[in-house]
Amino acid sequence: MKSFRDALLLQRLRLSRADVVAAIGATDQPPAPKTLRELADLQLVIMATEGAIADKSDPVFLRKFETEAA
């Protein structure tokens, strides 16, 4: 159940990233520097979430994490 929820979350993040790119390309004006900075911050969050989801699907990582947490 948890991995299914994570997969749905990852799909939403990928869609939102595509939406951001489409929105930038829809205008003739270049994005403002502040907007670019916000998009860069958003990209870091998305990449971190994708990494966390990938870690959760790795049984060796999960076993090591649970052992260290205990």
pLDDT at 67 over 60: yes
37-60 pLDDT tens trace: 888 887 888 788 888 888 888 888
Where is pLDDT greater, at 66 or 10?
66
Residue 29: φ, ψ to 5°: -85, 140
pLDDT at 1 over 60: no
Whole-number Å distance between alpha carbons of 21 and 47: 15
| CA torsion through residues 31, 34, 37, 12, sign | negative
